[in-house]
Structures are given as structure tokens and as C-alpha cells.
Amino acid sequence: MVSGNSKRDDGLQLADMIAGAIMSFAPGEDTGCYSTFVKKSEPAYFFKQALIQDIALSTLLRRARSHGQFPMNNLPSTHIQSILNASIPLFRFATGPLYNDNVSKPNVCDFAFGNPHEMPVAGFADALQKWSVPQNKDWFAYKRSEPEAQHVVAQSLRAWRGIEFEPNDIFLTNGAFAALTVALGAILDAGDEVIFNSPPWFFYEQLILAQHAKPVRVRVNAETFDLDLDALDAAITNKTRAIIVNSPNNPTGKMYPVQTLRGLADILEKHSARNGREIFLLSDEAYSRIIFDGRGFTSPTSFYPYSFLIYTYGKTLLTPGQRIGYIALPPNMPQETRAALNPAIFISQLVTGYAFPNALLQHALGDLDKLSIDIEHLQHKRDWLVRELSAMGYQVHSPEGTFYLLPRSPIANDWTFAEKLAAQNIIVLPGQVVEMPGYFRLSLTANDAMITRALAGFAHAIHV
């Protein structure tokens, strides 16, 4: 078991590391790394500058105090520093006191991240045990996308989506993290632009930067959380190479309607024709099997052939530490495009650092694909919390999918409100960490006992 202190020490080490990297340039100086996409006049710019100074200076002082010396910066890559910059809001939370001083407290109600708070899905460990017994000498040899695993995915997509994917067009990856990295690596050149919708998942910006490409953020509609098609249309330039769409969306829980997806496809077709090269749609479908109220899922890939379908089993099974997922190229993508992308994706997987799932997970995939967390129970937790929080006076919408709620913070500063909740032994993610200032995110992976215990604290915090 990890003790509170060792978690805290890990957090401090990470904070030291980040601060060390940040200290390679003077606090307050425009580094040029993010200024290309965060204008100096934007509040985000000042927030990041303040944060850099905050983290760098406090860590500098702490280290100077404990070691009697100043930290040396030994991270040589300015490129990785730009990626660290984009990670600061998340790391400030994940390595700072709001999370680390509270997460190990007894009886804490932890709604911060999509981590399991119950034992793993029945059958998961059995499948791993069963498939860990070697059936031939190559059982644990180097693996790429194994034909058996490709067939499992093709059959699964046929049964679930009614679409015949070619097994050869399925690329097994270490979850969606790797699938996104590999897909971006296969299509991007330095300087290309990639659009993502804000609020986004934590790491889109960093994964784009990692490819030496330029992230372009477009806000969704503030009222409906639907894609803002006019804003997307306006954001596309002749350098745009891809757009990332995540439905159902983390953190809003919004599932984009057919009409929006058709509109998006029209826009992408128009600009691809104008640019004389395809703009790819990267459809992050991490939560596509976590949908409520019996709704069907419409994949954004359905209307646009130049699409990458990206999936991870980490959400459906709630086992993100056992990493398996995939990229699937849809059958309506022209054959010659798929043929050209096939070796590009393969080499991108290799140079990304062998981004294939391990042998055991691939062998076990036929069994794993049939398992899922209890979606009915998740829906029950959604309804329970939405009902209780609304009755207390919180403004909260009911998500169509994912395992997140996104209530409005009763006070403008969501970080301060998260601190008030922490005083009630409740940990939530401040909205500013996911580009939703004025909100806070709750993960429904918290267990029933945590929810029961948290209700009084939520009721108290809204009145103080």
C-alpha cells in the first residue's frame, strides 16, 4: 500500500522536476514556447505566467532551504519544456497540496480522477491468468498488432457498430494515449496545425506539441457544449492537418448529434478540397461504450471517410493500468489511403517506443472485449448525484455518457471551492484544470460509500 507520505514525496519530486525544467528560463519571461498559441493578452497567458512563477519560486525556495543550494536544470530539451508548460494546470493539481494532502486521508471521498474505487471487473483477472499460460514458444515473443487481436476488434466493431472493418486496418496500441500519439505521428509534419475542442482531455495539447505541430484550440458552445461549427470553420487554415473530436466528451459528457457531425464532415471536405490535401478526423471514442439512458452512439467517423477511430479498453473495463486500445481505419476510407497509412502507422508505432500492447493483453483480448464495468450502476450514481446536488442548489446537467459530472462552482473561483470541499473530505477536480473555470468535475467512479458520505459535505460547502 502507498502511504500518504510516499505519495506526497512522489508529488514533491515531480514538482521539483517540473520546476527544474521551468527554471531553465527566467520566471516571467516569455519563453516563446506557448506564446504562439496563447496570446499575451489572454487570461490564460497571465495564469500560466503566474503559475510558472508560483511553482518555480516555491520549489526553488524549498530546495534551497533543504539542500543549501539552487537546483540545476539538467533537462536539455526546450521542446519538452514547452510540453511541460502545457501540463502545468494539471500538475499543479496532481502534485500539489489540494490533491496530495487530502487523497490519503481516512474516509476521503475521492471524485478527482477516473480511477477505480472498487475491485476490478469480475473475469478480468481470470482472463489474464488463463492467457498467461504459454501455448507455444512464441507466446511472449515480440508482438505487433496480432492477427487474433485484430479479429477480435473487427468482430466487436461489426457486432456493436454494424460496420465491417478490415482486420488489417486495425492497429493495437497501448490505450488511447498511444493511439493518439501514433495517429498524429503518422500524418503530421513539423508546423502542421491540429485543432482540438475545448474543454479538452488533459493531454491533447501536449501530444500535438510532441509532434512539433501547432495546437489550435476552439471552444465548444458554452450553453449546449456542442461543437461550434462556425468557429471550427473559421479556425481551419491551409496548415490544418487534423482535428480531434471526443464524443462522448470528457469533461462535458456531451455526445455530438448526427446533425453536428454531418456539418463537421461538410466543413472538413470543403477545406480539404481547398487545401489540396486531406484534413484527418481523429475520433477519440474512449467513452463510446459508456452511454446512458439506452441511447445509441453515433461515431464521428460515420460521415467522414478520412477518419481514425481511436479507442481504449481502459474506460470500459476501468483498468487504465493494463493498457490496450486501438486505431481503426474505417472501410469507407479510400483503399489507397489506407494502404499508404498502413506502413506509416506501423513505423509510427515503432518509433513512438514500441507502442503495441503487451503479448498477454493481446492474447486475452477475446475475453476482455466481452467485459464491462456496470453501466447501469454508473447511471444510478449519475442520477443519484444529479438529483441530490440539484436539490442542494447546485447547477448540474445530466451527462449523456462518460463517467463525469460537471457542476457549476457556486463561487467564481473553482479552485477555492474545491478547497472548501476538501475541508469536507471531498476531492474534486477544479474546472480550470480542464479549461472550464467556474465548474468542477466529479468522477462517478467514486464508490457508493463515498457518495453517501460526501452528500453532507456538498450541502455544507454550498452555504459557507
Ligand X SMILES: Cc1ncc(COP(=O)(O)O)c(C=O)c1O
Q: Terminus-to-terminus CA distance in the chain, angstroms?
A: 35
Q: Between 59 and 312, whose beta carbon lies closer to ligand X?
A: 312
Amino acid 217 reads R
Q: Between 286 and 396, whose beta carbon lies closer to ligand X?
A: 286
For residue 453, how far is the Cα from the chain centroid?
28
Q: Between 302 and 316, whose beta carbon lies closer to ligand X?
A: 316
Does 314 participate in binding ligand X (rule CB under 6 A)?
Answer: yes
Out of 71, 175, 199, 305, name the contact with ligand X by CB under 6 A: 175
286 and 299 Cβ atoms separated by less than 8 Å:
no
* Cell numbers placing 207: 501530444
Does 114 participate in binding ligand X (rule CB under 6 A)?
Answer: yes
Calculate the CA dihedral of residues 127, 132, 135, 140 and round it to 10 degrees: 130
Residue 429 bridge partners (DSSP): 441
C-alpha gyration radius of the chain:
22
Does 307 participate in binding ligand X (rule CB under 6 A)?
Answer: no
Calculate the CA dihedral of residues 98, 102, 108, 113 and round it to 10 degrees: 50
Segment lying near ligand X (by CB under 6 A), choices 115-123, 161-169, 172-180, 181-189: 172-180
Q: Which of residues 14-73 bind ligand X (CB under 6 A)?
A: none
Does 100 participate in binding ligand X (rule CB under 6 A)?
Answer: no
CA distances to 84, 149, 417 from 399, in Å: 31, 32, 22
Out of 260, 312, 348, 409, name the contact with ligand X by CB under 6 A: 312
Q: How far is the CB of 289 from ligand X (least distance, A)?
A: 13
Dihedral sign from CA coordinates of 130, 135, 141, 145: negative
Does 284 participate in binding ligand X (rule CB under 6 A)?
Answer: yes
Segment lying near ligand X (by CB under 6 A), choices 58-66, 70-78, 171-179, 377-385: 171-179
Out of 320, 399, 410, 437, name the contact with ligand X by CB under 6 A: 320
Does 349 participate in binding ligand X (rule CB under 6 A)?
Answer: no
Q: How far is the CB of 325 from ligand X (least distance, A)?
A: 6
Q: Between 21 and 318, whose beta carbon lies closer to ligand X?
A: 318
Q: Between 55 and 218, whose beta carbon lies closer to ligand X?
A: 218
Q: Between 59 and 174, whose beta carbon lies closer to ligand X?
A: 174
With 0-12 CB in 10 A as exposed, 13-18 as middle and 19+ as buried, what is 421? buried
Does 352 participate in binding ligand X (rule CB under 6 A)?
Answer: no
Out of 165, 201, 256, 297, name the contact with ligand X by CB under 6 A: 201
Q: Which of residues 235-274 bind ligand X (CB under 6 A)?
A: 246, 250
Q: Between 59 and 206, whose beta carbon lies closer to ligand X?
A: 206
- Please tell me the chain's helix, strand, coil percentages from 3-state DSSP, rounded to the nearest 5: 45, 10, 40
CA distances to 149, 390, 439 from 277, in Å: 32, 48, 39
SS in 3 state form for 339-391?
Answer: HHHHHHHHHHHHHCCCCCCCHHHHHHHHHHCCCCCCHHHHHHHHHHHHHHHHH
Dihedral sign from CA coordinates of 219, 225, 227, 230: negative
Q: Between 22 and 355, whose beta carbon lies closer to ligand X?
A: 355
* Cell numbers placing 387: 438529483
Residue 430 bridge partners (DSSP): 440
Out of 176, 186, 216, 345, name the contact with ligand X by CB under 6 A: 176
Segment lying near ligand X (by CB under 6 A), choices 98-106, 169-177, 337-345, 443-451: 169-177
Does 177 participate in binding ligand X (rule CB under 6 A)?
Answer: yes
Does 297 participate in binding ligand X (rule CB under 6 A)?
Answer: no
Kindly list the residues in this chain that would bind ligand X in the complex (CB under 6 A): 114, 175-177, 201, 246, 250, 284, 286, 312, 314, 320, 325
